[in-house]
Amino acid sequence: MEYSGDNKMVLKPIRISKKLDENGEEEEAILLSPPSRMFHEPNYNVCIVAIMGWKVPIKVDAIKAEIQHKLLKHPRFSSLQVMDESDGSREIRLVPTAVNIDDHVIVPQIAGINMDTDKFVEDYISNLSTTTIDMSKSLWDLHILNVKTSDAEATSIFRFHHSLGDGVSLISLLLSLFRTSSDPTSLPTLPVSSSSKDKSNLSINNRENIWSLIWKYLVKLWLLIKLLFNTVVDILRLTATMLFLKDSQSPFTVAQGFKSNRHRFIYRTVSLNDIKFVKNATNVTVNDVILGITQAALSRYIHRRYEVEGKRKFSLERMRCRATVLMNLRPALGVQAIAEMIEKNAIVIQGNCFSFSLIPLTIAELENPLDYVRKAKTSMDRKKHSLESRCIFYSLHFFLKFFGLRGATTLCERILSRTTLIFSHVIGPLEEVSWSGHPLTFVAPTCYGHPTGLMVHACSYAKKLTFVIAVEEGMTPDPNQLGDDFVDSFMLIVEAALSNKIENHS
């Protein structure tokens, strides 16, 4: 890797140590997919960070042995990404190589630190966002901080370059290394979304009259028209965003010319059971509740900042605030399938297969906190009757084919930089899990490198759900207060749901 005169990273051919298979033959290089190559483009160098808290201090040698035995069987974690200039195509290939585990597992010396341990861990993770992973080795590393904080006895940070795969596939791969705490031989289980829907029985045996059948087909026709209409409207709005439409100025908006190159990561954990209680009380989905909490927290924070600074010259309800919601388009293999592939050395390569949708957020002071959840449901339900995310996915492939990587990257960058935040929800294990005898207390995945000033990721684990807020340092004042606003908004929504339930039973 070298840098050009304008400070842009350039992949160059490098000398590698070849990796041999079980028969002593060199393993074949694999071509990196165009969507994965996008993450090597300037201003789009994205890394995924999985922050994990542990209930016990980490035994470094045990973790290294587990990685060596399992994770390094995956070719994306035991290969170099090398520019192939032999045929002039300048494609990037995954070239298998021998991996020195000590180059990837980093244990900093932290004895005798003279500062608050919570602040030390926060600063350490923030400092990681100022660095890139060394391109002369496989694009991942693990940082182990054996220091007690208010959240855990030890903390580790697993960092992956986004070109290795999307968040869903990487988190699934990571979970395949874990076992349930109650049974060290059992793999974690993930919630399965019910895709089976009750199908209408239109057989002759039902003796339905002709008018009933006509009505059903009319409903289907209406749903089709609604789908097409919503898709056209969403694509027009997306095009306007790419050309000129921007969100309103807020404490999360990246000002023109502002460059921090450093992120601050704040995470807060709440009760997943309480979120499910709100879900049942309002007849919505878990995603609706999480997005509702996000709307409420941003409203609290923005209201406070504008009131304190005396800059509130307009109604908050008139603010244009949108979330770029990431969506996985590939059916997940599942933890069980990945674990079996690792054991059989037959791992299927999974790259990046995701898209996004633009969801309008309500920034307002609502009297009933449950209205934030209801408004989130309305927005999400509408997007379920739209093909926006699919159209974006195929549009990116069109740009990749006809305008190259730079064109596709520019498209993504213009859209993301004109919206307020990136939002993602990752579903974690249903039960408590352990890795090589280390019980996990929380997992908080996030990322850095996107051209946006605010990212909100939510990840469920056992009976908990952790919000991770990533902001550009120096742009958003007091990010810890924003984290507290998520907890306060969550508590207000739960209290409102409880009061609503009591009123309905009285």
The residues carrying an active-site annotation are: 162
The tokens of 269 are what?
């954990």
Reported in sequence order, the residue ranges of 55-116 that DSSP labels E, i.e. its strands, are 79-84, 91-96, 105-106
Reported in sequence order, the residue ranges of 222-369 that DSSP labels E, i.e. its strands, are 263-271, 322-328, 354-360
Q: Which helix (H) or strand (E) holds 376?
A: helix 370-384
- d(Cα 311, Cα 127) in Å, to the nearest integer? 32
| Half-sphere exposure for 482 (CA within 13 Å, toward CB) | 25
3-state secondary structure 342-366: HHHCCCCCCCCCEEEEEEECCCCCC
| Half-sphere exposure for 330 (CA within 13 Å, toward CB) | 16
Distances (CA, A) of 104 to 67, 100, 101, 140, 450: 10, 7, 5, 7, 24
Q: Judge whether 489 and 369 are in contact, CB under 8 Å.
A: yes
- Per DSSP, the residues of 143-162 read EEE----SS-SEEEEEEEEG
Count the Cβ atoms, other than its own, within 10 Å of residue 132: 14
CA end-to-end distance (rounded Å), the chain: 69
Pairing of strands 322-328, 91-96: unpaired
Residues 6+ apart with CB under 8 A from 139: 81, 133, 160, 161, 163, 164
